[in-house]
Amino acid sequence: MPVAKADFCAVAATALDGSSTQIYLFGGSLEEYVDAGLDVHILTIPYFRWAKVAMDSVPGGFRKGHFCQ
């Protein structure tokens, strides 16, 4: 499970057969001007399991206050 965050971005994607949904959580901050992660966490539903995705190739910088499409 990711640490508490604010100003993150989340997007849901459902499998074509409707059997599961994944919620992707990207970026965010612990408090103002503190970068809380160059990481992505995925919550799989209906199993409610979190997975952290390695982000070795993400350029530096803050990841808060953005949006997903």
pLDDT score at 44? 95
Rounding to the nearest 10 degrees, give the CA dihedral for residues 14, 15, 18, 21: -40
- The whole-angstrom separation of Cα 48 and Cα 27 is 20
Give the distance from CA 12 to its chain's centroid: 10
**What does the pLDDT look like over 53-63, one tens digit per residue?**
876 655 555 56
pTM value is 0.71
Asked if the model's pLDDT at residue 25 lies above 80, the reply is yes
Residue, of 41 and 3, whose pLDDT is higher: 41
Burial class (CB in 10 A: 0-12, 13-18, 19+), 62: middle
Asked if the model's pLDDT at residue 4 lies above 80, the reply is no
Residue, of 41 and 58, whose pLDDT is higher: 41
**Spatial contact of 68 and 9, defined as CB atoms under 8 Å apart:** yes
Asked if the model's pLDDT at residue 34 lies above 80, the reply is no
